[in-house]
Amino acid sequence: MDVSNPEQPKNKILITFGNCNTYFQRQLVSQLFGININDGDMIVKDLVWKTKYYRVEFDMYIDAYDNFSSWFQEFISEEFAALREVLAGVVVVDQYNSATQLNLQGLQDTFVVWMNTDSRVNQELVDEVNDQLLQVEGNTFELVNLHSTGDTNEYGEKIGIPRFKEIMDTCSWKNCNIDYLTTSSTANSTNPDVSLEWVFQRMQRARLKHANNEMDNREAMQIAQEIAEELTGREV
């Protein structure tokens, strides 16, 4: 099978660890994906991600590195182009460094999450970084803090591991065989052409404008109506 074919399903999740022992790797994979892995596992096939709306099968690739810059240069090389074509998501588990540069070209329809392991990085900094990233058109990168306290930030948005699971829930799973679990009444009232990812991004941008006092209540209501119309496929 030619995995470089753009019509191939994007049903692989790559998780790579920097300077983490194998016990921590097993523990975190269990927390993030609800599965148990063994020491030395590099590929785990036929996994299932299930939400209240759908279920989809995926494979997990597990990697590790000593130097992220070297690993990333290898990852974005032509040699690994076929792999990048089938990735639904990339998860980097390491201490976050604001100086780290990521060239995410060639990762269309692929989310990239940096799971910060540095307890000195607080949630306020994480929110600030993500607010800046929201302003970058086409950005698919997000910083998630493993040391967050609680499940939500001051805006009521999920943080930490709950946020990662939310990212997985709203993954596009392009070209994948998705088994939708919605009831017929829900399916008939929802526009199938609108992705949940679009809804979350729209809401996040609105929240950013509101936080910066760039949006009044009237504009907020207008955005809410636009989202409702997109979801239902009709005016409300």
Half-sphere exposure of 144 (CA within 13 A, CB side): 28
Chain center to CA of 175: 17
Question: What is the rounded distance in angstroms from the CA atom of residue 111 to the CA atom of residue 182?
Answer: 24
Coil, helix or strand for 128?
A: helix
Q: Where are the alpha helices (DSSP H) in 13-159?
A: 22-33, 68-75, 81-85, 123-134
pLDDT computed for residue 210 by the predictor:
52
Each residue's pLDDT, cut to its tens digit, for the chain (236 residues) gives 445 455 799 999 999 999 889 999 999 999 999 999 998 899 999 999 999 899 999 999 999 999 999 999 999 999 999 999 999 999 999 999 888 877 776 688 899 999 999 999 999 999 999 998 888 877 789 999 998 888 998 888 999 999 999 999 999 999 999 999 865 544 555 555 555 555 655 566 565 555 555 555 556 656 666 665 555 554 44
pLDDT score at 227? 61
> Can you list the domains of the chain with their CATH numbers?
12-169 (3.40.50.11960), 183-232 (no CATH)
